[in-house]
Structure 1
Amino acid sequence: MTAARPGVTIVPIHGKTPKIHDSAFVAPGCVIIGAVEIGADSSIWYNCVLRADVSRIVIGERTNIQDGSVVHCDPERPGSPDGSPCIIGDDVLVGHMAMVHGCTIEDRGFVGLGAIAMNNSVIGSDAMLAAGAMLTENKVMEPRQLWAGRPAKFLRDLPEPAIAGMRIGVAHYTENAKHHGAAIAAIDLSD
């Protein structure tokens, strides 16, 4: 399930080794550490860091974590006996340079460019955290909501065209990952 991938650093730590589905695309420059699971047809784009050294990161199917994003988690601590794992569902879009930390993103959730989602926050299904927004600890976005700002606040419910657009984005990234995988396979990254 986790074969060597050209240009990708995969680091086992504390007895935990990343598990990456064979159909997932992980771009060169990525660092995947510890208790990370990446599901079928998901894509982790150039120069992302997924570090599950103190808890776990689970990424569902057909989800994309775009270029330069950081995904991390937190260990157990007083008041948080289970810690703050990062659980990301199926068909999720995480925009470039996002920071996703110890939160839950439900199926078909969306995190905009440069947005931050903090410990124990929840992005509901078909919900969108706007570009540059910061969802603070323990905040819960209900399904189909748009939140924006720093700190992020509810703006409005998302209309059907916006939700359809997010689904088109998921399909685009799933297909584009196949093209990038083939292009990378055709070059020699050992230099």
Structure 2
Amino acid sequence: MPVILPVEGVYPEFGNDCFIAPNATIVGDVVMGDECSIWFNAVIRGDVNSIRLGNKVNVQDGAVLHATYQKTKTIVGNNVSIGHNALVHGCTLHDNVLIGMGSIVMDNAVVHSNSIIAAGAVVLEGTIVEAGTIYAGVPAKKVKDISQELIQGEINRIANNYLKYAGWFKESVTEEK
């Protein structure tokens, strides 16, 4: 069973049709929308500040979402994919965003809609990622603007695939809510 714990009496809240992997951990002031999936060994810690996830967000294996005590919340829009082993900390991710595997997005960063953070990139504190761009590197910098085809093809394909993958497991895992 997933670890779902309150912090100071505040329990996580889940939307409809979500999949939570048996070894995921979700604690405290976390509110997620519909059709979200939280994968194996992912951790969402709403203990020191709130975390909000929109609809159709997938937090892939080993990813960590956290915030900063009494300072910065973590806000994630709709149709967002957070890649394996990524760290999302005290920042805002708008709609239709792909956070690549092993990347880091730090406090007060804002990733605008229809953007991709490349695998392994480090988005430093306070960085503003322009809408419709790819950022890569350490520290992350704009690499290029992305086409509508890439937005529709890559960002939406991955988010939709995770809906399908979650369906493979929902019948065999009893979700605690």
Provide TM-score, normalisation by structure 2: 0.94
Partner of 1:188: none
Partner of 1:79: none
**Unaligned runs of at least 5 residues, structure 2:** none
Partner of 1:108: 96
Q: Give, as a single letter, the amino acid of the residue that structure 2 aligns with 1:146.
A: I
CA distance in 2, matches of 1:129, 1:68: 17
Give the alignment partner of residue 48 of structure 1, picking from 39, 42, 62. 42
Partner of 1:182: 171
Q: Map Cα deviations across residues 3-55 of structure 1 (whole Å, 9 max, x no partner).
A: xxxx1011101221100124111111011010001110011111101001111
CA distance in 2, matches of 1:182, 1:158: 37
Say which SS state the counterpart of residue 20 (structure 1) adopts. Answer: coil
Q: Give, as a single letter, the amino acid of the residue that structure 1 aligns with 2:117.
A: L
Deviates more, 1:28-37 or 1:164-173: 164-173
Partner of 1:150: 138
Deviates more, 1:14-23 or 1:126-135: 14-23
CA distance in 2, matches of 1:42, 1:184: 15
CA distance in 1, matches of 2:69, 2:173: 35
- Between the aligned residues of both structures, percent identity stands at 35
Give the alignment partner of residue 134 of structure 1, picking from 122, 128, 133. 122
Q: Give, as a single letter, the amino acid of the residue that structure 1 aligns with 2:173.
A: I
By how many angstroms is 1:160 displaced? 2.1
Q: Map Cα deviations across residues 103-154 of structure 1 (whole Å, 9 max, x no partner).
A: 1000011100000000010111010110000000000001111000011011
Q: Map Cα deviations across residues 89-111 of structure 1 (whole Å, 9 max, x no partner).
A: 00001110000000100001110
Q: Give, as a single letter, the amino acid of the residue that structure 1 aligns with 2:160.
A: A
What is the aligned residue count? Answer: 173
Q: Give, as a single letter, the amino acid of the residue that structure 2 aligns with 1:92.
A: V
Say which SS state the counterpart of residue 13 (structure 1) adopts. Answer: coil
Q: Map Cα deviations across residues 54-102 of structure 1 (whole Å, 9 max, x no partner).
A: 11000110110000000000122xxxxxx11000000001110000000
